[in-house]
Structure 1
Amino acid sequence: MRSGAKVVVIGGVFVLVAGGLGYGAYAVLGGEGGGFASAPVKTGPPSAAETADASAAFFKAWAAGDAAGAARLTDNETAAEPVLTSYGKTAHIGKVRITPGAAVGAKVPYTVEATVSYRGKSQPLAYESELSIVRGRTTGKALVDWVPGVVHPRLSEGATLRTGEAESPQIEAVDRDGVVLTKEKYPSLGPILDSLRQKYGATAGGTPGIETWVEPADEKRPGTTLLTLAKGKPGTVQTTLDAGAQAAAERAVRKYQQASVVAVQPSTGAIQAVANNPATGFNAAMQGQQAPGSTMKIVTAALLLEKGLVTANGAAECPKEVVYQGAKFHNLDRFDLPDGSTFTQSFARSCNTAFIKLIDDVKDDSALAKEARDVFGLGLDWKTGVVSTDGSVPEEAGGVAAAQYIGQGTVQMNALNMASVTATARTGTFRQPVLVPQSLDDRKLAVTERSLSPSARRQLTTMMRATAAWGTGAKAMASVGGDKGAKTGSAEVDGQATSNSWFTGFSDDLAAAAVVQTGGHGGDAAGPIVAEVLRAGS
């Protein structure tokens, strides 16, 4: 045997090791011939006993601070070791106690109780997570299926845990009247407050504290504070939010599993409420991208009115179905309206075919995209003060362009975009939505080429008022006071049995829009959310 090589016996298995590397494993065989034979590699799901043993071994190594040993018990040692090492070295987490719960198949839930210590400061840290046990592809061993969330549920790929002096001081965000806005009271604001801290914390007049945080792989994204060991002095950041409208928005979205709402002041563009359910993580209300369904008919109606192809009180055909360049379109439940019905009736009843029939007369399939950009400011790179996504209406042709007329096809919006569309329809002039005043950082806001023509604005708001009074939005808007208008939408999405519910409306100087995933008709799910926010802000 070469120098440096040795034989180790582990549980009845000989392992030949040289220079610290295992060269092979062989089972001991009886019989006169002696010798060795390869042990068969196990296959199939890990047994309950294997799941218990593998998870227990991993927990023991992790709790002991043996990052390398714990990493070897996963199916991706290379990725696991630096994260496990950072747990003790850069996050300064020690005195770790892990308590497993009852396994469900190969999944093992557990609680972690530990202590974070840094520069004489310490705080307890407790959280829950889970792991899965899988069988190694080449070894057949039961191993931990490695994902960063094994170490902490807030960790994603490439993210790390850190403890130290915070990179930015804490902030105290306040609403337009000086009311303090916290994650605890307004959970939906969590991602927004993190973004505000990242962007404005260094200039808001505060001093940093000592914290434990999740540092994302993308340095453009804000970190998430997990624990504060020593408080610094927070700086104050003014927002345009309204605490009353925000509280109403938080209550409203909690009634549905996946819902978002935004409220905007038409006269200023000030964002007064933003809420999502679920409340943590992705800010779908301002960053989502989905087809908005018939709420897009606000923009389409503006185009047709400005082109002089319709008037609010003029006749507009609404057949059960129409065909445009080979693409067939129909109304919900294939309803139609009697001959002589007005364009206002088609708008208020959300007749798809009345809009599709007029695309030929426009004589420019890309005209809707131009109207969306030049009048409603969609796609002009909004600078709201936090991360947000502009609406998108690409220039299209044929059947795809026709689908855009009713908010399907390649149109992509979120609740913020549609609230702004309604605000623009209300006043006739686009005012770029903002969540923090422009004066805070002198950023350049988006400006459109022109306003909506006065005639088109008057007719469009009249049609929206009709929708709220006796059209598809009447039931949802019945409890809303003031000068009010609305538009409903149901967006069909491939693979979904039930359409997404969209609704947008205004009351006096407040506009709001909401979307509920698989919520069905716009007035059924999204409508009540918008109504609750409008009532609070009126």
Structure 2
Amino acid sequence: MPDDAPHLTSPRRRGPRNGVRAVAAVGVVLAIAAGGSYAAGFGPFARGDDGPDPAAMKQARAFLADWAAGRLPSAAGRTTSPDTAQEVLQSFTAGLDISKPELTAAPDVKEEAEDGTLGVPFTAKMPITGLGTWTYESRLPLREQDDGGWKVDWRLSLVHPRLSETAKFRLEREETTPPEVTDREGTSLSGGDHPSLTPLLGRLAGGADGGPRGAVELIDRATGETVRTEASFGKKPDPAAEGEPVRTTLDATWQSAAEQALAEADGKNAALVALRIDNGEVLALANSPSSGFNRAASGTYAPGSTWKIVTSTALLLKDAVAPDDVVDCPKYLTVGKEFHNVETSEYPGATFRKDFTESCNTAFISLRGKLDDGELGEVARTHFGVGQEWHIGIPTYDGSVPVPKDETEKAASMIGQGRVQANPLIMASVTATAVSGEFHQPSVTAGNTDETRTEPLPDEVVTQLRELMRATVTDGTARVLADLPGEIGAKTGTAEVSDDQDNNGWLVAHRGNVAVAVVVEEGVTGGGSAGPVVHSLLSAVPEDPS
């Protein structure tokens, strides 16, 4: 929904409106706690040599700041009619469900009116809860007092030019029945059958008709008749499509299996995403607990050693290492701080292949000099789309790989720690890109805007990444998946959180045309916590989606 709601100028006839309920009128009064003060020098005004009187401008700044911050008694006290001003400001704000107004005065404006007031134009952006922002222009009149000070000359029209003794505003919300949400084959999806989708179903359904709808109406105080619509919110549905279900990319079979698989997380917070490799369509998105925060797509986690897929890509792209090169794997390596491997393991004389399959932190960190400081982030963005803006049909966090501040942070970023941030959606996409060579913006609904710009990976790099991930299943830390059918490739991850929390466990995998990513908070190790979740999922679904 756009910030600036359209203004409709044609008059409207009073009469019944299907599904419309007037929920509030400006006559409602809400008590708002007073308090706070206005700091001189702060605000939307900047005075030039020929600008308005500085004392008047200071009072205007203070009034607008108090109003915006909800300090209505203080704002009203700056007017010529404090009691009336406070009542009207409270009624206007509460009656129209306005939260956190943004009031911006035009700088260096001097408008002297015939009645002796100094006019200060301002723009009001009024966020109406659950609908959008009502934007309009008004004018703040200031009058010099006998003592030489200035006050806001109170009148209804300063709140809004059309607010008067004969007309007021009313907020109307249109109650709509959200359409049915289905999976890719038309099977109905419900919170009862798929608990993880409960927080998302309303948002997905809203996508069909622009979400909640409503309007700010100007009404006659005496008759209650609607004079005009000042602002309208929400897109009117296409009558031809009204009542049609919203089809998603999800697969009911995969979604059910994902929900059941998270039971293997033993009650820990966890999240899972499965998506198609060939086009990025999300087949399953599940969270534990199922209510509340969408960890799978909006979480911010250090991806730990699953990030070594991206690090390996960066190294392979510039021929900085080859799978059979010897890259020693000691127990410890100090780069500003001491880094170690899980369970302080070591593999003297290991090849890079062994370092990948056994997830050797010290070996990867020892290769940090092969990459420029910003190179890891550039590879993540250019080839994997990480850090670009994704539009998948629901809100997402799209990852971050900042340039390291120092050598210690660079070492940490090589193993998916430091300030590297991702979530299961991102890491499932990373896996899909690594084994196909091409990034596809993930999607939960059709027709999303795609503003990403990426470059494909060379075939030889893709071949090497697939071989490394397959070896991790057959000979490395993802052996928990070795008994499953299909040519599964995977990478485990263990991500440190803090000194007083156990590590998060990660596992990403691919089989056929599907990539999967799982995180288990405080799961200790990836293979031990996320591994059983992925095993349960892949055991319950076909080797390839239809």
| Same fold at TM > 0.5 | yes
Higher RCO structure (Cα 8 Å, ≥6 apart)? 2
User: 3-state DSSP class of the match of 1:534?
Assistant: helix
Structure 1 residues 262 and 318: CA distance shift in structure 2, 3 A:
same
Tell me the CA shift for residue 359 of structure 1. Answer: 0.8
User: 3-state DSSP class of the match of 2:333?
Assistant: strand
Q: Is the 1:480–1:507 contact (alpha carbons within 8 Å) kept by the matching residues of 2?
A: no
Tell me the CA shift for residue 320 of structure 1. Answer: 1.4
User: 3-state DSSP class of the match of 1:416?
Assistant: helix
User: 3-state DSSP class of the match of 1:487?
Assistant: strand
Question: 1:201-220 to 2 correspondence within 5 Å?
Answer: 201-202=209-210
Question: 1:104-143 to 2 correspondence within 5 Å?
Answer: none
> Partner residue of 1:516?
520
**Normalised TM-score (structure 1):** 0.62
> Partner residue of 2:532?
528
> Partner residue of 2:3?
none
**Normalised TM-score (structure 2):** 0.61
In structure 2, which of residues 205, 208, 214 is the aligned counterpart of residue 197 of structure 1?
205
User: 3-state DSSP class of the match of 1:525?
Assistant: helix
Question: How far apart, CA to CA, are the structure 2 residues paired with 1:534 and 1:192?
Answer: 24
Q: Is the 1:169–1:207 contact (alpha carbons within 8 Å) kept by the matching residues of 2?
A: no
In structure 2, which of residues 370, 390, 400 is the aligned counterpart of residue 392 of structure 1?
400
Q: Is the 1:244–1:537 contact (alpha carbons within 8 Å) kept by the matching residues of 2?
A: no
Question: How far apart, CA to CA, are the structure 1 residues paired with 2:355 and 2:498?
Answer: 26
> Partner residue of 1:171?
179
* Structure 2 counterpart of 1:171, one-letter code: P
> Partner residue of 1:358?
367
Question: How far apart, CA to CA, are the structure 2 residues paired with 1:512 and 1:275?
Answer: 11
* Structure 1 counterpart of 2:462, one-letter code: R
Q: Does 1:288 align with 2:292?
A: no
1:266-300, CA deviations, whole angstroms, 9 ceiling, x for partnerless residues? 11111110000111111110000011111110100
Question: How far apart, CA to CA, are the structure 1 residues paired with 2:381 and 2:293?
Answer: 26
* Structure 2 counterpart of 1:334, one-letter code: T
Mark the runs of 5 or more structure 1 residues left unpaired by the alignment.
1-66, 72-77, 79-88, 92-161, 209-221, 223-232
Question: 1:55-94 to 2 correspondence within 5 Å?
Answer: none
Question: How far apart, CA to CA, are the structure 2 residues paired with 1:472 and 1:459?
Answer: 18
Q: Is the 2:315–2:370 contact (alpha carbons within 8 Å) kept by the matching residues of 1?
A: no
User: 3-state DSSP class of the match of 1:350?
Assistant: coil
User: 3-state DSSP class of the match of 2:180?
Assistant: strand
Q: Is the 2:173–2:213 contact (alpha carbons within 8 Å) kept by the matching residues of 1?
A: no
Question: How far apart, CA to CA, are the structure 1 residues paired with 2:213 and 2:186?
Answer: 21
1:9-66, CA deviations, whole angstroms, 9 ceiling, x for partnerless residues? xxxxxxxxxxxxxxxxxxxxxxxxxxxxxxxxxxxxxxxxxxxxxxxxxxxxxxxxxx
> Partner residue of 1:276?
287
Question: 1:257-406 to 2 correspondence within 5 Å?
Answer: 257-324=268-335, 326-339=336-349, 341-362=350-371, 364-396=372-404, 397-406=406-415
Question: How far apart, CA to CA, are the structure 2 residues paired with 1:530 and 1:491?
Answer: 18
Tell me the CA shift for residue 312 of structure 1. Answer: 1.5
Question: How far apart, CA to CA, are the structure 2 residues paired with 1:185 and 1:447?
Answer: 37
User: 3-state DSSP class of the match of 1:201?
Assistant: coil
Question: How far apart, CA to CA, are the structure 2 residues paired with 1:522 and 1:412?
Answer: 17
More strand by share: 1
Question: How far apart, CA to CA, are the structure 2 residues paired with 1:508 and 1:163?
Answer: 51
User: 3-state DSSP class of the match of 2:476?
Assistant: coil
Mark the runs of 5 or more structure 2 residues left unpaired by the alignment.
1-27, 33-70, 72-94, 98-170, 215-233, 235-241
Question: How far apart, CA to CA, are the structure 2 residues paired with 1:452 and 1:274?
Answer: 27
> Partner residue of 1:244?
253
1:132-188, CA deviations, whole angstroms, 9 ceiling, x for partnerless residues? xxxxxxxxxxxxxxxxxxxxxxxxxxxxxx99742x441211111111111111010
Question: How far apart, CA to CA, are the structure 2 residues paired with 1:421 and 1:338?
Answer: 30
> Partner residue of 2:430?
421
Question: How far apart, CA to CA, are the structure 2 residues paired with 1:462 and 1:253?
Answer: 28
Q: Is the 1:502–1:515 contact (alpha carbons within 8 Å) kept by the matching residues of 2?
A: yes
In structure 2, which of residues 468, 474, 487 is the aligned counterpart of residue 463 of structure 1?
468
> Partner residue of 1:504?
508
Tell me the CA shift for residue 437 of structure 1. Answer: 1.6
Question: How far apart, CA to CA, are the structure 2 residues paired with 1:184 and 1:201?
Answer: 24
* Structure 2 counterpart of 1:322, one-letter code: L
> Partner residue of 2:496?
492
Question: How far apart, CA to CA, are the structure 1 residues paired with 2:403 and 2:361?
Answer: 20
Q: Is the 1:207–1:235 contact (alpha carbons within 8 Å) kept by the matching residues of 2?
A: no
In structure 2, which of residues 454, 457, 478 is the aligned counterpart of residue 473 of structure 1?
478
User: 3-state DSSP class of the match of 1:524?
Assistant: helix
Tell me the CA shift for residue 400 of structure 1. Answer: 0.6
Tell me the CA shift for residue 198 of structure 1. Answer: 2.5
* Structure 1 counterpart of 2:517, one-letter code: A
* Structure 1 counterpart of 2:206, one-letter code: Q
* Structure 2 counterpart of 1:466, one-letter code: A
* Structure 2 counterpart of 1:268, one-letter code: N
Question: How far apart, CA to CA, are the structure 2 residues paired with 1:471 and 1:318?
Answer: 15
> Partner residue of 1:212?
none
Q: Does 1:431 align with 2:440?
A: yes
Structure 1 residues 322 and 523: CA distance shift in structure 2, 3 A:
same
Q: Percent identity?
A: 40
* Structure 2 counterpart of 1:460, one-letter code: L
Question: How far apart, CA to CA, are the structure 2 residues paired with 1:353 and 1:405?
Answer: 10
Equivalent residues, number = 361
